[in-house]
Amino acid sequence: MSLNTVAFYLHRITGVILAIYLCIHLVFIGTVKTGEYANLIKITLSKEFLPLDLLLFLVGIYHGVNGIRLILHEFGLLYRYRKALLYATPIITLIIWVFVCLEVIG
């Protein structure tokens, strides 16, 4: 399987994950009216949820960085460097994610 194919599928999978998260988030925000919001906030701010939050950051960062790569490719910008950008996308993603993790964890 080529790196292009992997990037294609990862972009689709991360997009679906973000869409599912958005739906859950909207339902979660909807609990403000029912008074359950405070209880849910206590659960989601617990240490057990931190790994899920960090994985969500990873998904969002990858989707964003790969999206920028796709925009550059579609507009013909940096076309000569398309393969290098394909290899740089996960590296840039991991660098940003490590900084985010360090900031969130402490």
pLDDT digits (tens, 9 = 90+) for 38-53: 888 888 888 899 999 9
Q: What is the pLDDT of residues 11-39, one digit of tens each?
A: 999 999 999 999 998 988 888 888 788 88
Residue located via tokens 């910008």: 77
Confidence of residue 93 (pLDDT cuts 50, 70, 90): very high
- State the pTM of this model: 0.89
Residue located via tokens 């960085």: 65
**What domains appear along the chain, each with residue ranges and CATH number?**
3-105 (1.20.1300.10)
The pLDDT value given to residue 41: 84
The pLDDT value given to residue 45: 85
Provide the 8-state DSSP code for 49: G
Question: Which amino acid, one-letter code, is at 21?
Answer: Y
Confidence of residue 92 (pLDDT cuts 50, 70, 90): very high
Question: Residues 17, 62: contact at Cβ < 8 Å?
Answer: no
